[in-house]
Amino acid sequence: MESQRNVSEFILLGLSYDQNMQIFCFVLFLFCYVDLLAGNLLILVSIQCSPLLHQPMYYFLSHLSSMDICYTSSITPKSIADLLVERKTISYGSCMLQVFTMHFFGMIEVLILTVMAFDRYAAICKPLHYLLIMNRTRCHLLVLAAWTGGAVHSFPQFLMVIRLLFCGPNEIDHYFCHIFPLLKIACMDTYIAGVLMVVSSGLVTLVTFAVLFFSYIIILFSLRHHSAEGRHKALSMCRSHITVIALFFGPSIFAYLRPPTTFSEDKIFALFYTIIAPMFNPLIYTLRNTEMKQAMRRTWCQTSGLNIFLTKQGAS
């Protein structure tokens, strides 16, 4: 690999050259990242310590929260730290690792969202067979399939990127190692690599979004035969899931389903699928979900009660 390149690091141009804007972004991104970690960890602990873990929907939600943390953590801490320094650099190895982890965890998240849509379809359209369809073994297999899909998607892209030749410019016009800016500075013909990137990421994202879209049309159509209370409960969770899908897939489709070139809007849209959408996931799935709020209340009230008891025992 060393013989194919003569760059050891890349320079990230970041979001803005304005110092005041960088300070503002530092505060905003740090708040978003802390909020994302706290919210997703709260969901994970609440589900793990409650009977909700045995329900397929919350089992998948716990995995989605884990992927949110892993996906965002592959990019955001470095981006936040870079806002405090004038020269933003990233080593070649770290850049390649960032490309791999972003696509690996991102695809797992996409597939888990798809699995969650299938779970809602089974619960609403096949209620009598739901427990048989979504048994524990099948839930484990679906999560395993999501991880396998993430590997199948990310490894070819990673191999494609490490084969690129970099022999001159090393400035990446982005705040992380995005593939399109990397293709732009490679000193070789990247047309085929760009087309493969659009096919593997853009079309996969579009097809997945289409599957999710039509699955929810079927779900909403079938709700006509449910009672008012059943429709309200089903729509509550469906609205949460649809909101998450719109926040994640909208910017992702713009970022990858287009000619392999760079636009000034890329950085803004990237903020949505790397920071903003994962940050809102915990809020969307908790504020609109009565069961989740009750589980969180029981878990943390019991924890607080246990801490008070242990404190009193220690004092006595």
55 falls within a domain:
yes
From residue 282, alpha-carbon distances to 66, 139, 197, 262, 289 in Å are 11, 21, 30, 31, 11
What domain count does the chain have? 1
Per-residue pLDDT of the chain (316 residues; tens, 9 = 90+): 444 456 788 999 888 788 888 899 899 999 989 988 988 888 888 888 877 788 888 899 899 999 999 999 999 999 999 998 888 999 999 999 999 999 999 899 889 988 988 888 888 888 888 889 999 999 999 999 999 999 998 898 888 888 888 887 788 888 898 888 888 888 888 888 888 877 777 778 888 888 888 888 887 777 776 667 666 666 666 776 777 777 777 777 777 776 666 666 778 888 888 888 888 777 777 666 667 767 777 766 765 544 543 344 444 4
Please tell me the predicted confidence (pLDDT) of residue 250.
Answer: 76
- Unique residue bearing structure tokens 């990019």: 75
What is the spatial order of strands in the sheet that 9-12 belongs to? Answer: 89-91, 9-12, 171-172
E runs forming strands in the chain: 9-12, 89-91, 171-172
Whether 10 and 92 have beta carbons less than 8 Å apart is answered as: yes
300 falls within a domain:
no
- Write b or e for each residue in 75-101: b if 16 or more Cβ atoms lie within 10 A of its Cβ, otherwise e: bbebbbebbeeeebebebeebbebbbb
298 falls within a domain:
no
164 falls within a domain:
yes
304 falls within a domain:
no
CATH number, domain of 143, equals 1.20.1070.10
- Unique residue bearing structure tokens 């009750």: 294
Tokens read off for 171: 């400035």
Q: Could you list the residue range(s) of the whole structural domain that residue 44 is in?
A: 9-289
- Unique residue bearing structure tokens 């079927």: 218
105 falls within a domain:
yes
Tokens read off for 313: 């025992």
72 falls within a domain:
yes
307 falls within a domain:
no
